Amino acid sequence: MEKKLSILREKGYKITPQRRAVITALEEFGKFPTAQNILESVKKTQPDVSLDTIYRNLTLLAEVGIVHEIHRHTGNIYEIVNPGHHHHHLVCTECGRTECLDICPVNDAYVREAEKKGFQITGHTFEFYGICHDCNTGNKK
């Protein structure tokens, strides 16, 4: 928690009770809560918080690199970024199931190509979208 709060402070952001509660909720959920899941958790300590406040905080946390937002047609989900553990995701377009993929397809060729065009890559996101095993075989839970 303190490391995440120090990142916010370093970037000039205030540590509000709502912001602290959102980070706590993300840590408690572990992988892949929705904004609605986070709202329900935050309301336990901040009963007047709105879904808009949750989204604003999640957007900020994603912008500063504390949270990764994963886009799904069933609704976006979030995970805390673990420094030193870079990964991507498999996302089922049928049920929304999301799995970590512990490899990164970005290599030096992409960096060189970007540099030729005058770009300095500072980050990237990469998700694979498809149909999970359960949906593909009709074994939905």
Specify the pLDDT at position 141.
Answer: 52
Residue 140: pLDDT band by 50, 70, 90 thresholds?
low
Model pLDDT for residues 58-77, shown as the tens digit of each residue: 999 999 989 999 988 888 99
Task: Give the tens place of pLDDT for each residue, 86-131.
Answer: 788 898 998 888 888 888 888 889 889 999 999 988 777 888 999 9
pLDDT (mean) for 44-68: 94
Mean pLDDT computed over every residue of the chain: 89
Over residues 3-16, the mean pLDDT reads: 90
Q: Which of 17-26, 82-91, 103-112, 130-139 has the lowest mean pLDDT?
A: 82-91
DSSP code string of 28-70:
HH-S--BHHHHHHHHTTT-TT--HHHHHHHHHHHHHTTSEEEE
pLDDT number for residue 78: 93
What is the percent of the chain where pLDDT is above 90? 55
- How many Cβ atoms are within 10 Å of 72's Cβ, its own excluded? 19
Cα 34 to Cα 74: distance, rounded to the nearest angstrom: 10
Per-residue confidence (pLDDT) for residue 127, from 0 to 100? 87
This prediction has a pTM of 0.78
